[in-house]
Structure 1
Amino acid sequence: MQTHEIRRRFLEHFVRAGHTEVPSASLVLPDPNLLFVNAGMVQFKPYFLGQEAAPFRRATSVQKCVRTGDIEEVGVTTRHNTFFQMAGNFSFGDYFKEGAITFAWELITKSQEEGGYGFDPERIWVTAYESDPEAAEIWERVAGIPKERIQFRDGKDNYWDMGVPGPGGPCSEIYYDRGPKYGKEGGPVADEDRYIEIWNLVFMQDIRGELSPKLGHAPIGTLPKKNIDTGMGVERVAMLLQGVENVYETDLLRPIIDRAEQLTGRSYGVEHTDDVRFRVIADHVRSSAMLIADGVNPGNDGRGYVLRRLLRRIVRSARILGSEKPVMAEFMKVVSDLMAPSYPELATDFRRIETVAVGEETAFLKTLSTGSRLFDETVDQVRSKGGKKIAGTDAFTLHDTYGFPIDLTLEMASEAGLEVDEAGFRSLMAEQRDRAKADAQSRKHAHADLSIYKELVDRGATEFTGFDELTSEATVLALISGGVRVPVAEAGSEVEVILDRSPLYAEAGGQIADRGSITATGGVKLRVNDVQKIAKKVWVHKATVEAGQLTEGDTVLAQADPAWRGGATQGHSGTHLVHAALRQVLGPNAVQAGSLNKPGYLRFDFNWQGQLTEGQKADIEAISNDAVAENFPVNTFVTDLPSAKKMGAMALFGENYGDEVRVVEIGGPFSMELCGGTHVQHSSQIGPITLLGEASVGSGVRRVEAFVGLDSYKYLAKERALLAGVASSLKVPSEEVPARVEQLVERLKIAEKELERTKMAAVLSSAGKFVDTAQRIGEVLLVAEAAPEGVGAGDLRTLVTDIKGRFGTQPAIVVLLGNADGKVPFVVAVTKAAQDLGIKAGDLVGAFGPSIAGRGGGKPEMAQGAGSDPAGIAAGLAAVRARVAELVG
């Protein structure tokens, strides 16, 4: 049975049983505690936590999941996948244990002809929580499973909670016996390779405290409503129903391995080490495609770093298996063909997915080539000294200078039988940059206790009136201060105000929140500083009470600042025009990856490889301003999502849309996007759009910034004044400034080259002096001196090469230590005759390096690097002379 059919049968089974089918959520959700969705219940968390009332009593879904905590285990074992599909059925206060067990048993044992999976009931084993005899009794009574195939386990195996105080409950897991060839008898407690878990039923009935029942601690209470949360591993079921040895040989993964065999010339199933790499490719290719489809782009931290790591492991595995050419485009095409029947976005958005993956591959191949050479040299140096650990400074150099990720260094070091001073590396990383980067928006309510808002969320959504008016009469539903609900807010206090209706826009979709005021009779006045959403439906006005006393239940006037709103609508509508212009100039692959718009300013991130040309930027600006001049009407309407997509409306990747969506149309076909923000009524109201620049913000993601409206005019006026000042200084008309500046730059380049030649001649003139003062130690001539003051690393190498050449075929060593801008660049050169005596340039660096706090490396004939302590130059040179004396006896 094919995997797509397994999914279909699961959903149909539960829909027939009265469940609402819920589409898979994006792998990326605004949950501060999760990097990616990692379980089927994640999108239902607000219902289980009691933050929102569930809109249905029964639900079913097949959820996309990614777990990355054990990437290193992927391929090594045949049970780990980073991406997997979790089929689940959920009950919110409806059926409980008996219902969940009955539904599961019916599906897995019903014949395939009748729409089930057709598992042999005699090969099914189940486990139950050690304190849950009720579940065991139901299995025995409803399913007829004999007691000997029902095993009890402790909380570590058969109790579930979210890892924090909140809902939890005992589990019952369903296992399938694959037979004696896969392990010993005795059920799951004896061997989980033979007895494979396929389904976990969680009976959510408890409230856990700070200490988890998983570790033997008692729950602190009982939930008012008992819920069901189950998860069936689609890939594991496919493995069993398709009769293959492991999940990598199922219909949605084995074709990737087949393509990898063709591209590398190696065969799967011959050698274990190769098999691991084939499985890494199959797993990571699929995971990467699914992540890119949900809007993730390669980056240096967070989700982007995970994706980058997956893509780079694919490339490296393919290279080790023997592929000499790029492979990513081929692999992505296979994944698209395999997965599109269940996830059609992989086909419709294939070009973008392919572009992102291929772009990262291209960049990494350059990194891999350079970094691998340096890594090999580092390994040789460590081994030559009898060491077992690569220094943190070397790992940092690989990362910082050559873009070699630390996880790859760790992986390659392990393969070479070495360790890495990871603590030293982390310390250097901490010194280099502030790692406490935070997305302020995502953390505004990230770790707050949202239960205080539950009643308000259950009451219903805040009515947003701001599309039609800037001032609205409203009722104060609640006041919250310091995380506690309060009846009154006094003058001078900071308070969160929840109204039944509001004209103030709550931050969303890249548009920052409105500023404004809340007033009431008796001189009550609050300044609204920010507006955020709770559960996407309740507006929370963060305000300062400037005068009077506000009481829950008061009738108030809420007003959005007209000037602020006007500027914000200009910025947001301008963003839509720039997006449309980008797609006209660059094509359909230039799709949105993020945005920020506020009064007078817009920032737009989009997927694209490579820097934009000046011509492209000029065209984007011109097309955007042409649309402003056309005075296009701006129309908004609400429709269903399929209809909006059919019309061609653009959607933001990774965003979860409801059944109804709002479409913003500017100039008919010119721009049409799904958007909940505020906009101008005609495009001319945006005013001029001035592109400020374009830059990279991550692999495959570019950013343009622009001013709009009056801010655009002010910027252009400032630029005009600046140009006039330059023209006056150069004593030429403004239109001749570019040519005049070009002439001056060219003259400066000529002067700099002449100065460089003069400087180099002066440096080389000292070469003869160094040769004349060479010290003979045994058979070897040694020059170990301080370089002329101010000689940099590049000139130093030239000087040392010249000195070395003057010694001809004699055994000679040249060591020069410079002193430039507080740094100590150094170069060591060894003639062929001296190398024949066993002397290597790299070995000598270790003699003087500690004195100048420096490190470096290179080949036997030449090594170079730099130190940071000029005070140690004399001691370093003395150490070199002593080391050479040791080497030549």
Structure 2
Amino acid sequence: NYTELANKNIDTGMGLERLAVVVQDVDSVFDIDTMKAIRDRICELAGVTYQTDEAKDVSIRLITDHIRSSTFLISDGVMPSNEGRGYVLRRLIRRAARHGRLLGIKDLFLANLSQTVIAESKDGYPELEEKKAFILNVLSQEEAKFDKTIDQGLSILNDMKADMQKAGTKVLSGSDVFKLYDTYGFPLDLTEEILAESGMTLDEVGFMEAMQEQKDKARKARKVTNYMGADVTVYESIDPSVTSTFVGYDRLSHTSKITVLTTEDEIVEALSDGQVGTIFVEETPFYATMGGQAADTGMITTAEGTFEVKDTVKLLGGKIGHIGVVTSGMIKSSDMATLTVDEIRRSSTCKNHSATHLLQKALRTVLGTHVEQAGSYVDGERLRFDFSHFSAMTAEELKKVEGIVNEQIARSIPVVTDVMTIEEAKKSGAMALFGEKYAQKVRVVKMGDFSMELCGGTHVANTGTITAFKILSESGVAAGVRRIEALTGNAVFTYYAQMEEKVTEAAKLLKTTPANLLEKVEHLMAEVKALQSENESLKSKLAKDALGDVMDRVVEVKGVKLLAAKVSGVDMNGLRELGDQLKEKLGEGVVVLASDCDGKVNLIAMATDAAMADGAHAGNLIKGIASLVGGGGGGRPNMAQAGGKNPAGIDAAIREAAVVLESQIK
């Protein structure tokens, strides 16, 4: 028996991309603006043209879809692996890489292509731009890793196919499929796809059995069981007693003992040259991504090897992982290591972080105490600060805020950090982030009598170190939430230098000096406006002249005069001006004009007061004829307009105007 739903509805499947297909009037999701940009970039890299070869089109569409999905997955924190969602990501990346080869792309290209994905979607998903370096790094490493084995793997697979043909079978054994997966990194569906191209298939059941057998062996070797049916990740496999202490508030280099080494799949005793992994130590000066502050990067060195730290993560249980790659030699567990933070990146990040504290107080000073932090992100390049406010800031407000921040920087205020209980911090008046959960002991960052906030991040010792502050943009990100993006330090001077270069170049193009540029532009704009007005008048005059004695074309429809005519090359503005002239000449009645301009149709209808009194309605008249030119539109009873994309239907529309008007007249 079926239960009748209280609320009946239909799931149309109209997701964002499918809606865009309709709105943008294209044939498929691969033709909408964001996807087409990726598709075109693939064609450019491969030197091919879309829709000239069906096999190549399949590869182009597949790569378009997979690189977009991969980029978003990585930005959401998914890493390529052999388990769960990480394996889905790995399959997407490797399948895209293989189809790139089928298109003739010889070099690594996925990171390059991902930049197009980010550029197309960063406005709606700002985290893509924030994590850009990390996303590109993950894609580069994964593609490079697959690139090292794919040729050898393809050779082995070709040998297997030859053996199958000799044996008269079309099914590749599960053990062979697993060998390709385990040794050469071939995902199951990739092997299946390659076999299908030769009319062959594989033993998926046998593959799954071989996979499970290896999992069981690995689990026993690690002496780790799974929890509630879910496989334990490599980080969760680490002994709970292993912890890390952050010591980087007052130092950028520190020597400590390596406690654990992992690859993406397992705990290991050593990492060799070129191998990607994670290092855990007892004490570290590396700050992990937390509280909107980007992670430190740098180097870890031991007596036998060097390791480049590309990201630092805070894990459950007080563990801090240093993710990166061995750049030389070998890194061994239990070795003593020297951890050195990238000083330039940390310094720039500190400047940006301290500037957000000054910015928040400046915003509260200018806009009011309703301003609360709604999110932030700081790294070595710029800062982003989200805050509660009900409207866009004016240019004057932005100028005041920027001035206040730079004033506090110029004061060279000492930045003091105290550790106290959360109750003491609140009593002292320190600002806290709404909704944030704090430990019993907290750090309070104080900048003279200007700013005092709870914060666990790293900061400059003196506001003067920030040097300069420049707001780049202010925008809305949600209802009641605004966002400011800004620069500090040397980045400000670089920005000014770039702006100066652009101003100088613009002045050069306009044959003037930077000092006189504004006056020159204003003069040119006035000149352009006058020329545009003159051009419209000339177009209208030409159109009128082309019509000749239009009064010969006037007909009467139930006693109402109708002038319906076709003109060429007149845009909508010109058509309106011409319509006004003809309506005045007509005296009383209805004017309908149609123009073919740049392959598109412009329609306009005008009705005088007397004609409207008899029942004429310009808006309904336009609705009645617009479909004949492949368009739509409407308007008021006295004036209406429409656009279309079928110039061939203009004559029919002009004829139909009389029919529609006749139906309106009382």
Give TM class, smaller chain: 0.5 to 0.7
Partner Cα separation in structure 1 for residue 435 and residue 400 of structure 2: 29
Correspondence for 1:592 among 367, 373, 378: 373
Correspondence for 2:467 among 687, 712, 715: 687
Contact 2:547/2:567 (8 A) holds in 1: no
Secondary structure, aligned partner of 2:357: helix
Report the equivalent of 1:828. 605
Structure 1 residue 784: Cα displacement:
4.1
**Structure 1 residue identity aligned to 2:594:** L
Structure 1 residue 729: Cα displacement:
6.7
Secondary structure, aligned partner of 1:818: strand
Confirm whether residue 509 of structure 1 aligns to residue 286 of structure 2.
no
The two structures, once aligned, show a CA RMSD in angstroms of 4.1
Partner Cα separation in structure 1 for residue 439 and residue 576 of structure 2: 64
Report the equivalent of 2:413. 632
Report the equivalent of 1:429. 20
Secondary structure, aligned partner of 1:825: strand
Structure 1 residue 543: Cα displacement:
0.9
Partner Cα separation in structure 2 for residue 422 and residue 800 of structure 1: 45
Contact 2:252/2:285 (8 A) holds in 1: yes
Partner Cα separation in structure 2 for residue 833 and residue 423 of structure 1: 47
Confirm whether residue 573 of structure 1 aligns to residue 354 of structure 2.
yes
Contact 2:254/2:339 (8 A) holds in 1: yes
Report the equivalent of 1:707. 487
Contact 1:828/1:841 (8 A) holds in 2: yes
Partner Cα separation in structure 2 for residue 536 and residue 878 of structure 1: 80
Deviates more, 1:584-593 or 1:777-786: 777-786
Contact 1:568/1:598 (8 A) holds in 2: yes
Matches within 5 A, 1:466-615: 466-522=248-304, 524-535=305-316, 537-615=318-396
Correspondence for 1:678 among 424, 448, 458: 458
Partner Cα separation in structure 2 for residue 600 and residue 749 of structure 1: 41
Partner Cα separation in structure 2 for residue 821 and residue 854 of structure 1: 15
Residue by residue, what CA displacement relative to the aligned partner does 1:471-529 show, whole Å, maximum 9, x if unpaired? 2333444444445444543332332333333222212222222221222222x222222
Partner Cα separation in structure 2 for residue 610 and residue 469 of structure 1: 42
Report the equivalent of 2:631. 854
Confirm whether residue 659 of structure 1 aligns to residue 436 of structure 2.
no
Partner Cα separation in structure 2 for residue 424 and residue 720 of structure 1: 45
CA 1:457–1:695 in 2, change beyond 3 Å: closer, same or farther?
farther
Partner Cα separation in structure 1 for residue 662 and residue 597 of structure 2: 29
Report the equivalent of 1:669. 449
Report the equivalent of 2:576. 797
The unaligned stretches of length 5 or more in structure 1 are: 1-410
Secondary structure, aligned partner of 2:236: helix
Report the equivalent of 1:357. none
Partner Cα separation in structure 1 for residue 539 and residue 434 of structure 2: 56
Partner Cα separation in structure 1 for residue 415 and residue 508 of structure 2: 44
Structure 1 residue 789: Cα displacement:
0.4
Give me the TM-score of the superposition, normalised by structure 2: 0.60
Report the equivalent of 1:356. none
**Structure 2 residue identity aligned to 1:622:** G
The structure where helix makes up a greater share of residues is 2
Partner Cα separation in structure 1 for residue 353 and residue 507 of structure 2: 36
**Structure 1 residue identity aligned to 2:576:** R
Partner Cα separation in structure 2 for residue 744 and residue 816 of structure 1: 34
User: What percent identity do the matched residue pairs reach?
Assistant: 32
Structure 1 residue 598: Cα displacement:
2.0
Partner Cα separation in structure 2 for residue 809 and residue 732 of structure 1: 54
Structure 1 residue 830: Cα displacement:
4.8
Secondary structure, aligned partner of 2:251: coil
Residue by residue, what CA displacement relative to the aligned partner does 1:280-299 show, whole Å, maximum 9, x if unpaired? xxxxxxxxxxxxxxxxxxxx
Contact 1:768/1:803 (8 A) holds in 2: no
**Structure 2 residue identity aligned to 1:621:** E
Partner Cα separation in structure 2 for residue 455 and residue 852 of structure 1: 68
Confirm whether residue 444 of structure 1 aligns to residue 444 of structure 2.
no
Partner Cα separation in structure 2 for residue 879 and residue 425 of structure 1: 38
Secondary structure, aligned partner of 2:350: helix
Confirm whether residue 788 of structure 1 aligns to residue 379 of structure 2.
no
Structure 1 residue 612: Cα displacement:
2.9
Contact 1:465/1:503 (8 A) holds in 2: yes
CA 1:424–1:704 in 2, change beyond 3 Å: closer, same or farther?
closer
Structure 1 residue 633: Cα displacement:
0.8
Partner Cα separation in structure 1 for residue 266 and residue 583 of structure 2: 77
Partner Cα separation in structure 2 for residue 428 and residue 766 of structure 1: 43
CA 1:639–1:817 in 2, change beyond 3 Å: closer, same or farther?
farther
Structure 1 residue 632: Cα displacement:
0.9
Structure 1 residue 807: Cα displacement:
4.0
**Structure 1 residue identity aligned to 2:402:** E
**Structure 1 residue identity aligned to 2:18:** S
Partner Cα separation in structure 2 for residue 849 and residue 703 of structure 1: 44
Deviates more, 1:644-653 or 1:728-737: 728-737
Deviates more, 1:468-477 or 1:867-876: 867-876
Matches within 5 A, 1:133-152: none
Report the equivalent of 1:641. 422
Residue by residue, what CA displacement relative to the aligned partner does 1:365-405 show, whole Å, maximum 9, x if unpaired? xxxxxxxxxxxxxxxxxxxxxxxxxxxxxxxxxxxxxxxxx
CA 1:426–1:723 in 2, change beyond 3 Å: closer, same or farther?
closer
The unaligned stretches of length 5 or more in structure 2 are: 1-6, 25-32, 36-67, 80-84, 87-229
Partner Cα separation in structure 1 for residue 15 and residue 498 of structure 2: 48
**Structure 1 residue identity aligned to 2:629:** I
**Structure 2 residue identity aligned to 1:671:** S
**Structure 1 residue identity aligned to 2:281:** L
Contact 1:492/1:546 (8 A) holds in 2: yes
Report the equivalent of 1:256. none
**Structure 1 residue identity aligned to 2:353:** H
Deviates more, 1:679-688 or 1:727-736: 727-736
Structure 1 residue 572: Cα displacement:
1.5
Give me the TM-score of the superposition, normalised by structure 1: 0.46
Structure 1 residue 565: Cα displacement:
1.2
Higher relative contact order (CA 8 A, sep 6+): 1
Partner Cα separation in structure 2 for residue 429 and residue 457 of structure 1: 50
Matches within 5 A, 1:320-331: none
Structure 1 residue 713: Cα displacement:
1.7
**Structure 2 residue identity aligned to 1:652:** L
Secondary structure, aligned partner of 2:436: coil
Report the equivalent of 1:865. 642
Contact 1:625/1:689 (8 A) holds in 2: yes
CA 1:805–1:636 in 2, change beyond 3 Å: closer, same or farther?
same
Matches within 5 A, 1:289-300: none
Residue by residue, what CA displacement relative to the aligned partner does 1:98-152 show, whole Å, maximum 9, x if unpaired? xxxxxxxxxxxxxxxxxxxxxxxxxxxxxxxxxxxxxxxxxxxxxxxxxxxxxxx
